[in-house]
Structure 1
Amino acid sequence: MSSARFVLLPLCSTLLLRAALGAFPFYHVCSTSGNFTANGLYESNLNKLTSFLYAKTPSLGFGLGSIGQYPDQVYGLALCRGDQSASDCKACVADAGAEIRRRCPRNKGAVMWFDECMFKYLDTDFFGQIDNANRFSFYNINNVSDPEAFNSKVRGLLTGLVEEAYTVPKLYATGEMGLEDKMKLYGLVQCTRDLSATECKECLEGAIGKLPSCCDGKEGGRVLGGSCNIRYEIYTFVNV
């Protein structure tokens, strides 16, 4: 297995992460759209929405909902990685729902990514819209010996997975491809299920388009966003 160290590239900053992620969030963004008043109606609605997503998401791996009326209405969703069991999904959504409130305590919107799930809420209706504003990438620090050939295989695998994912209800697909020396390349693509099939494909293709600038010739890489995510590695990283 390759090194556990990765470089994270959110916007223009660079951070180092380790692969022993557990319940540790990859990254989070607190919205600048405004703050809510402590113990007010918006916070009450957000608490109800968090509980609703915690209850709804595990059975299908995706939850979507809105609570309240303008100007205190809150919209949110939770998405678990497509291979997660209901119990693992529930645990991740619980962690994300609690951690996002600690890190963005009064923000009217926020999004947080864990390895196994994503949690997002906002004070405006974002359902069915591709979120390109909240997107970041990171890569394994190890380089491959033949970047051009490897990059081509990565793009080929992920592009094929996109063609599968946007045609199925879960908007999710994984696959593998043989490499030299009996090694394999593994890939994953996934969209939030508020997107249409066409929007999912557009989002995933946009994420793949970011790979040359973030992950050129790297053994592993990932692009995460508020609406879709892609990942590739030279080791298995999903449950089978």
Structure 2
Amino acid sequence: MQFLIHGVSSLNLTNDYLNHKCFLNQGTYNSGSKYKDNLNICLRAVRTGSSTMDGFLDMKMGEAPDSANVMFQCRGDTRGSKCNTCGDTAVAGFRKRCSMNKGGVIWYDQCFLWVSAINEDVQFKTDYKNIFPMYNPNNVRGDAKLFAKRVVDFLFELILTIPITTKRGSFLNLYSAGEKKLGKNTLYAMIECVSSTLDYESCLAWSINKLFKNGDIKQGGRVLGMNCVIRYELYPFLRS
């Protein structure tokens, strides 16, 4: 089988809403509160794009108990104005779906936004609670178990190709994507971790193992989390 690591051209590029979770245990804030002011400053930084041109923002504003913490990251192939557009979408989506909540996370195809009233170093510690799989509705033709094994093997191969010396601001860009021939089909896949997640290999391995844990073997799938993201499809879904 041919193994290629290079940019994957896009034939089906979207920025669909995927999922969200409001952190109800962090409570809500009132209009005119100091927390709201601090949160607005952080979210404006995401929307203006001046701090996210390289695809990543980790920002804290204010002091406890009114400190607002925001982390925003675009997918590895989404940069510049495209990242800014996704930032606008994520902020608007968070305000709509987690209105007045102090914390929450929202995922889109090309970016995700995390908000918290608790000062946490989520980029350095893997959160295994807020991880979930999604699947392409199409079934695999032929030997599904063999297909799943090849997907898993390829994703683990991609881990070995992560260019950990590539800087994203003061953080590491833990991202890799590629394609591989599977008979008449071509498998496209990507893996990515948030900034300098210290244990990124374990985070990715855990996500890969979760992908087919319940016997869901489809033509495409992904696992989304606050630290790591993986995805595979039988069609291109990334920019070159």
Q: In angstroms, what is the RMSD of aligned CA positions?
A: 1.7
Amino acid aligned to 1:149: L
Once the 2 structures are TM-superposed, how far is the Cα of residue 213 of structure 1 from its aligned partner? 2.3
CA distance in 2 between counterparts of 1:86 and 1:24 reads 19
> What is the SS of the residue equivalent to 2:52?
helix
- In terms of fraction of residues, the more helix-rich structure is 1
User: Structure 1 length normalisation: TM-score?
Assistant: 0.85
Consecutive unaligned residues in structure 2, runs of 5 or more: 1-11, 166-171
**Separation in structure 2 between the aligned mates of residue 204 and residue 115 of structure 1, nearest angstrom:** 18
Q: Distance in 2 between matches of 1:175 and 1:45?
A: 40
The answer as to whether partners of 2:174 and 2:196 remain within 8 angstroms in 1 is no
Q: Is 1:155 equivalent to 2:158 in the alignment? A: no
Distance 1:56 1:226, change over 3 A: farther
Residue 35 of structure 1 aligns with an amino acid whose one-letter code is T
Percent identical among aligned pairs is 33
Aligned residue identity for 2:204: L
Shift of 1:214: 4.7
| CA apart distance, 1:23 | 4.7
Deviates more, 1:53-62 or 1:184-193: 53-62
Q: Which moved more, 1:227-236 or 1:157-166?
A: 157-166
| SS at structure 1 position matched to 2:43 | helix
What is the match of residue 39 of structure 2?
46
- Greater length-normalized contact order (CA 8 Å, ≥ 6 residues apart): 2
Which residues of 2 match residues 106-145 of structure 1 at below 5 A?
A: 106-127=100-121, 128-144=124-140, 145=142
Q: Deviations over 1:139-178 (max 9, x none)?
A: 1122221112111110111011122227343100001111
| 4+ residue runs over 6 A deviation | none
- For residue 69 of structure 1, what is the aligned residue in structure 2? 63
Q: Give the counterpart letter for 2:97 in structure 1.
A: R
Q: Tell me how far apart the structure 2 counterparts of residues 214 and 57 of structure 1 sit (CA, whole Å).
A: 40
Equivalent residues, number: 218
Q: TM-score, normalised by structure 2?
A: 0.85
Question: What residue is the counterpart of 1:103 in the other structure?
Answer: 97
| Equivalent residue number for residue 174 of structure 1 | 177
1:233 and 2:233 aligned:
yes
CA distance in 2, matches of 1:228, 1:166: 15
1:69 aligns to what SS in structure 2? Answer: coil
State the distance in 2 between where 1:154 and 1:43 align.
44
